[in-house]
Chain A
Amino acid sequence: MKQTIQNAYDTLSPTEEQREVMLRQLRLRLRETAPEKDDERGKRPASRLMAASLLAAVLLALGVTAYALGWFGLENLKEQEYTVIKGFTQEEILARNRELEEAVARGEDPAEKLREMDERDFPRPTETRRITFMAGLQDSPEAQAFQEYMAFSVGYDPDREILRSIGNEPTGLEEEYGAYGCYTREMADKVDEICAKYGLEKLGPGRTLTSARQLFAYAGTGDFAPKNDHYSGQRLYSAIAYADGSFIADGALSAGMMTQYHICRCMKGTFTTFAVMELGELESWTEWNYTTENGAELLLAQNGRRALILADRPESFVVLEVHGSYRATNRKDSLETIAEIFDFTAIP
């Protein structure tokens, strides 16, 4: 039944032309409704405090990988607990969103409302999180750099006083240090110091790409995305890629099931902080090594709610997470099917 219904819904997908028309109209409407002080791109208000808080919830923790070249397992991933600024719960985020919507509906200035909400909701309490860093050998420069920066970050501006004083104004650090959440020169200097100490390069500015072709060219990979995807006619939705070849990308696939995925590649020799996950209890995961038909050696893991594919490639470490599919997160054969429709050998 599921497949029959999926096939029927597939026929409702917009055509390429419809997508383009809707996007053009959306841009026009955004410009029409943008406040005068905003530029022609139609910027919306944003809370740097909120973004930093959300980032802190996933960043300020430590884990290091410990595996030899060749086969490895999740048991080789070392977790560590850190006391971090407590992230907003989904309920709290929804409540903030509702409050903002209501204010906008009453004709209030959203930027002003956001400032008012930030004043009320910050500083935040702290909590303990167990987070795993997903890209680097235990004693690798990447892992040590990450560890040092996280130790610095946890103790820096703990009550967000500095961040509150800066507000949402540009700092001039966004391009070069935006990937590390830096909002002061002191934080940026720490990043430089760590990179020099461990012989690593900075990520630099990320570039948003909107097609698989653009990503392959920019990241210097071959064509690795699923070729049998008829989910939406789009093999990759979007990606943020860096000059060294690191990237984070979203896509969808249809290997007997419809699901979305998130893929992350971290280059060895680059200081990265975005490849972190909360794995929870390792005992809850089923994991196994798997070699694809074209020879890529992978670690597959699933725990009923999440599914992961990890690849230790010669120049990079790749983690792919499959979202929202019961079959992918519970059935080994389904995850192996997904592993086969990617070409991990195309990612050096």
Chain B
Amino acid sequence: MDMDGALPHTDEEITAFYLRYVDTVYRLCYSFLKNPADAEDMTQECFLRALRSGMSFASVQHEKAWLIVTASNLCKNMLKRASRREESVEEHPELADRSGTENGEVLDAILRLPPEYKTAVYLYYYEGYTTPEIAEMLRCPKATVQSRLFRARKLLERWLGGELT
């Protein structure tokens, strides 16, 4: 049931490809950039690169992995280029609306994580990838992924006051 590795050509195929991955890419971009406008720009950029590239993928999983890694790298580069200051939740009304709720507090803490931890946290806790899968995707040792997840978990627990339920 593996699909062949051809990226979409037609308008319909492009739409299907986009719908399959847009939520994943957008959520990841948002977690880095912390505002919807930049997250939308970077999401488009990521899809544009994939669709213009002529790339091939061995499977749907590899296609998704490429988009995730590319989105992370684009966001990190954007943050570096712009030397962006850390923006607080209060600067974004759409996030501040959620503060005070458990989801809002946890989200605030996730957004405060250092960039190098964010991709691992998203892939492990949200997308359900295993540590070896993440290590392969990010091209780093498994121990590095484990260490990032451990440190991220400790930071989240510290900021949220005790263990997360």
- Measured CA separation A90–B58 after assembly (Å): 7
- Measured CA separation A220–B109 after assembly (Å): 46
Please state if B125 and A6 are interface contacts (CB–CB under 8 Å): yes
**With an 8 A cutoff between CB atoms, is A60 at the interface?**
no
**With an 8 A cutoff between CB atoms, is A13 at the interface?**
yes
Contact of B6 among A51, A239, A257 (CB under 8 A): A51
**With an 8 A cutoff between CB atoms, is A301 at the interface?**
no
Please state if A237 and B19 are interface contacts (CB–CB under 8 Å): yes
Please state if A232 and B23 are interface contacts (CB–CB under 8 Å): yes
Contact of B16 among A33, A44, A210 (CB under 8 A): A210
- The number of residue pairs between A and B whose CB atoms lie closer than 8 Å in the complex comes to 213
Chain A 170-203: CB-based contact to B (< 8 A → 1; otherwise 0) = 0000000000000000000000000000000000
**With an 8 A cutoff between CB atoms, is B165 at the interface?**
yes
Please state if B23 and A50 are interface contacts (CB–CB under 8 Å): no
Q: Which chain A residues numbered 4 to 62 have a C-beta less than 8 Å away from chain B?
A: 4-14, 18-19, 21-23, 25-27, 29-30, 33, 41-47, 50-51, 54-55, 57-58
Please state if A30 and B5 are interface contacts (CB–CB under 8 Å): no
Chain A residues contacting B98 (CB-CB under 8 Å) are 11
Contact of B12 among A96, A210, A275, A326 (CB under 8 A): A210
CB nearest to B9 among chain A residues: A43
Chain A residues contacting B56 (CB-CB under 8 Å) are 47, 50-51, 54, 88, 93, 96-97
Please state if A250 and B40 are interface contacts (CB–CB under 8 Å): no
**With an 8 A cutoff between CB atoms, is B14 at the interface?**
yes
Please state if B103 and A11 are interface contacts (CB–CB under 8 Å): yes
- Measured CA separation A78–B135 after assembly (Å): 34
Chain A residues contacting B61 (CB-CB under 8 Å) are 323-324
Please state if B16 and A237 are interface contacts (CB–CB under 8 Å): yes
Q: Which chain A residues numbered 237 to 255 have a C-beta less than 8 Å away from chain B?
A: 237-239, 248, 250
Please state if B55 and A100 are interface contacts (CB–CB under 8 Å): yes
- Measured CA separation A33–B52 after assembly (Å): 9
**With an 8 A cutoff between CB atoms, is A86 at the interface?**
no
Of B9, B66, B122, most A-chain CB atoms within 10 Å: B9
Contact of B4 among A18, A55, A327 (CB under 8 A): A55
Contact of B27 among A1, A12, A259 (CB under 8 A): A12
Chain A 202-217: CB-based contact to B (< 8 A → 1; otherwise 0) = 0000011110000000
| Range of interface residues on A (Cβ < 8 Å) | 35 or more
Please classify the interface of chain B as helix (H, G, I), strand (E, B), loop, or mixed, using the class held by over half of its residues.
helix
How many chain B residues touch A (Cβ–Cβ < 8 Å)? 67
Please state if A30 and B14 are interface contacts (CB–CB under 8 Å): yes
- Measured CA separation A29–B50 after assembly (Å): 13
Chain A residues contacting B83 (CB-CB under 8 Å) are none
Chain A residues contacting B17 (CB-CB under 8 Å) are 238
**With an 8 A cutoff between CB atoms, is A163 at the interface?**
no
Please state if B9 and A46 are interface contacts (CB–CB under 8 Å): yes
Taking the closest CB of chain A, its distance from the CB of B11, in whole angstroms, is 5
Q: Which chain B residues numbered 1 to 50 have a C-beta less than 8 Å away from chain A?
A: 1-7, 9-23, 26-27, 30-31, 36, 40, 43-44, 47-49
Give me 17 A-to-B residue pairs in the complex whose CB atoms sit less than 8 angstroms apart, sorted by A's number: A8-B106, A9-B31, A9-B107, A18-B36, A19-B19, A27-B11, A46-B7, A51-B4, A88-B56, A93-B55, A97-B66, A208-B16, A238-B20, A248-B1, A258-B126, A262-B60, A321-B1
Q: A12-B31, A110-B53, A237-B19 are in contact. List 11 more A-B contacts (CB 8 A).
A: A1-B153, A5-B156, A9-B110, A9-B122, A27-B14, A29-B48, A46-B6, A93-B58, A101-B49, A210-B19, A326-B128
Interface residues of A (CB under 8 A from B): 1-2, 4-14, 18-19, 21-23, 25-27, 29-30, 33, 41-47, 50-51, 54-55, 57-58, 87-88, 90, 93, 96-97, 100-101, 104, 110-111, 113-114, 134, 207-210, 231-234, 237-239, 248, 250, 257-260, 262, 264, 274-277, 319, 321, 323-327
Nearest 3 pairs between A and B by C-beta?
A238-B16, A237-B20, A8-B106
Interface residues of B (CB under 8 A from A): 1-7, 9-23, 26-27, 30-31, 36, 40, 43-44, 47-49, 51-58, 60-62, 64, 66, 98, 102-104, 106-107, 110, 121-122, 125-130, 133, 153, 156, 163-165
